[in-house]
Each structure stands twice: as C-alpha cells, then as structure tokens.
Amino acid sequence: MQRREATVTQINNYIKAILERTEVLQNVWIKGEISNLKYHSSGHVYLTLKDEGGALRAVMFKGAVMKLPFKMENGMKVSANGRIGVFERDGAYQLYIETMEQEGQGDLFKKLEELKKKLSAEGLFDEKYKKPIPRFPKKVGVVTSPTGAAVRDILNILKRRYPLCEVLLYPALVQGENASPSIVKGIEFFNEHTKVDVLIVGRGGGSIEDLWAFNEEATVRAIFKSHIPVISAVGHETDFTLADAVADLRAPTPSAAAEIAVPDRTELSDYLEKQHARLKTMLLKKAEESEVKLRLISERSSKESFIRRLENLMQTTDRSFDMLIRATEGKLEKKMNTLSECAAKLDALSPLKVFERGYNVAYNKGNVLRSVNDVKENDEIKLVLIDGNVKAQVTQITKN
C-alpha cells in the first residue's frame, strides 16, 4: 500500500473544505446552554454550547454581537444559528454564530437568581453590614485549595508586599459537591479557633459549574456570619458569585485580593521618608523663628554673646533632629528584623514545603484519605503532588 503523507496544515484545510461542502452544516440551528462565556476586548464573544451529552466551541464576531437584543450570560439556554467550520491554527472545529435566540435560562442560572433574590430580601448583601478591612493586619487567613495557582499567587504577593504579616492557610476543596461544606468549615475554623485580622476566600477562574460552591447558600451565610472581615477572590474579573456580593470586599482576582489585604512595604517606606522631610522642614522653620528672636536680643547684647546663643540653639536643633532620626531608624530596623523572622516562619509553614519533602495528599472519591478505613482494595485514588496529580489503584491494605 502506498504511503501517503501530508502536513498538519494540509489536513486541517482538507477537513475544513469537507465541512464547507456539507450544506447542512453551513446553516444550522443548535440548541444548548451557554458556558465559559468570554467577552473579548475586540468585541468578539467566545463561548461553549453544551447539553447533557456534549459541548461545542463557538465564536460570535463583533458585528453579529452588536445586533443581539440581549446580553449573553453563563447558564442561559439559547438557539444559535451559524455554520460549522475549522479554526486551522488549533485544528478544532467550532460553530461560527451569525444570530442567536434566547430559549430560556439554564437550571443553574435560575437557581442562582432565585437564591440571590431570597438572600437579598433578607438583607445579606446590604452595605450596612460590610466590615472595614484593617489597614495593617498582623495575621491573614486564606481559605482556598492548597494546590492551585491561586494559593501560590496569594502567598507570593503577601510575602513580597508585607512580610511582617503572618499568613495561615486552611486547605479547602473549591470545586465539586463537597466544596461548599469544606469552604464553610474553613471560615468557621478561623472564626472559632484562630485570631486573624482578615480572611481571603476564593479560587481561580472557571465556568459557572466550577465556581458553583461560591454560590451555595451555606457558603454565602458562612461569609455573612463571619466576625472577621472577608475579601472574596473568586475567578477572574468578569466572574461574579454570591460570595462576592456578601463579602465585605470583592477582589477581581486572587492576586488582587492579596494586594488589597496588606499594604506595600515600599509605599510605607516612602511615607516614612516624607514624614522625615516634613519634620525636618518644621525644625528648620522653628530655627528660623528662633533666629529672628535672637536678632532682637542681639540689639541688647554683645555680638559675641549673640553668636554663642545662636550656636547653642543650632546645636540643640541638630541634636534633636539626630535623636529623632536615630529613634525612627531604630524602630524601622526592629520592624525589618521582625519582618525577616515572619518571612522565615511563613516559608517554613508554607504547604508547598511539605510537598517538596516528598509528601502528598491522597483523595478517594473527592475526600481526603486520613485512615486505611477510608479505602478498599481496587479503589482508584488520586495523589496530589507538588507538580501534578497521579491516579493509582489500591492493590493491598495493611493496618498498623
């Protein structure tokens, strides 16, 4: 049999030509629920249409978007008209949408709106209940997944901006049916057992299904009941959950939450320098006023006496200024030493260090394994390592 060879581009173009010659695919109406919706800065919209059995990538260009009589939202059920084509760069087929009709809202979206109305009527989102975020927190609590990118961003930014602050992490599930109870336990843990000044609660971005734990009623009520101020940090800037609405402050991303939670040591240093300059100006002004008084006195005293008094005054001013500078520098040095000690503690307490020493976290059906009684032979378990996940099958169980 003769060997046939082709480039990737040739294959993609060939498949594209087949799809374009298939008339039924060039003007098709497809029903589905919108997810992974993204409004691009170009004006184009990227989304996924899904139903119980599958998903289809789709794009709607700016001209078609501008003609829509409604704004698309995740969870919305629609009927989209367009053509099936191939995006050659990725070798992926997708629906190029020309127009769209709203069929109704998806079950999750309806559930979200109903719960939002219920909790809003109870006053959970009222501004009068929002607690202020402390300016100089000594301890920050974080409730999120211990293995996602969000926790690394949060820890790195907190350490860089304000090493004086101690950070405590509660490892929680942030996706799946057990995520909401896990998040609630984390919030309750900090409120009952530790004294932190502010809480960051969140995760990275995802679809409405991925973020649903932060729309659960139990999660929202736990945030509302927290006596510790809560900063929500769920997903990307375009994502919005009920946790964002009830939190004392909403951050557009986990990284932004870390920046909001603590001050920047560089800005603090600049502030101290400005205060030093302001104090110096005040002292110089006092010296000038004293000099004027001495000139008046000099009319009644000898030139030599005037010079001695002026020299004494200037020396007193210089000493006072030097003492003030030394006191300020001493406090700053003490704070920086404390900062270094806290940074070392933070590094030692980091959950990532545990992973680096070869430890891992095992899950069975979404639950953390703490005992041999939590697993049976032939169970398939997941091992979370520092750089990824491993699936394994249990072949033998030995009890101590």
364 in the same domain as 319: no
Whole-number Å distance between alpha carbons of 213 and 195? 25
Tokens matching residue 20 = 């374009």
Same domain, residue pair 255 and 330 = no
Q: Is 165 a domain residue?
A: yes
What does the DSSP assignment read for 45-59? Answer: EEEEEE-SS-EEEEE
Residue 389 lies in a domain: yes
Q: Is the pLDDT of residue 183 over 80?
A: yes
pLDDT for 105: 55
Q: Which of 173-177, 283-287, 295-299 is least confident?
A: 295-299
pLDDT, position 203: 94
Is 225 a residue whose pLDDT tops 70? Answer: yes
Reported as a single tens digit per residue, the pLDDT across 286-342 is 878 887 777 776 666 566 666 677 777 778 877 877 787 777 777 777 877 777 777
pLDDT tens-digit series, residues 53-102: 899 999 999 999 998 878 888 888 899 999 999 888 888 899 999 999 88
5-14 average pLDDT score: 86
Instruction: State mean pLDDT over 371-387.
Output: 83
Could you tell me the pTM of the whole model? 0.52
Q: Is residue 1 in some structural domain?
A: no
Asked which of 153-162, 196-205, 230-239 is least confident by mean pLDDT, the reply is 230-239
- Alpha-helix residue ranges (DSSP H) falling in the chain: 8-21, 62-66, 107-121, 149-161, 179-193, 217-225, 242-246, 254-261, 265-298, 303-349, 351-356
Domain of 382, in residue numbers: 360-393
pLDDT band of 173, cuts 50, 70, 90: very high
Read off the tokens for 359.
């430890």
Domain membership of residue 87 (yes or no) is: yes
Q: Give yes or no: residues 275 and 253 share one domain.
A: no
Does 398 map to a domain? Answer: no
3-state secondary structure string, 263-328? CCHHHHHHHHHHHHHHHHHHHHHHHHHHHHHHHHHHCCCCHHHHHHHHHHHHHHHHHHHHHHHHHH
pLDDT at 61: 95
Asked if residue 148 and residue 91 are part of one domain, the reply reads no
Residue 400 domain-assigned (yes or no): no
Tokens 């101290």 -> residue: 272
DSSP 163-183: TTSEEEEEE---SSTTHHHHH
- 147 or 339, which is more confident? 147
Length of the chain: 400
Residue 3 lies in a domain: no
Does pLDDT of 37 surpass 70? yes
Kindly report the backbone phi and psi dihedral angles of residue 301, in degrees, each rounded to the nearest multiple of 5, phi listed first.
-135, 170
pLDDT tens track for 107-127: 777 888 899 999 999 999 999
Residues 6+ apart with CB under 8 A from 143: 170, 172, 183, 186, 187, 190, 199, 200, 201, 202
Q: What is the largest CA-CA distance in the chain?
A: 122
Question: Residue 131: what are its φ and ψ, rounded to 5°?
Answer: -95, 145
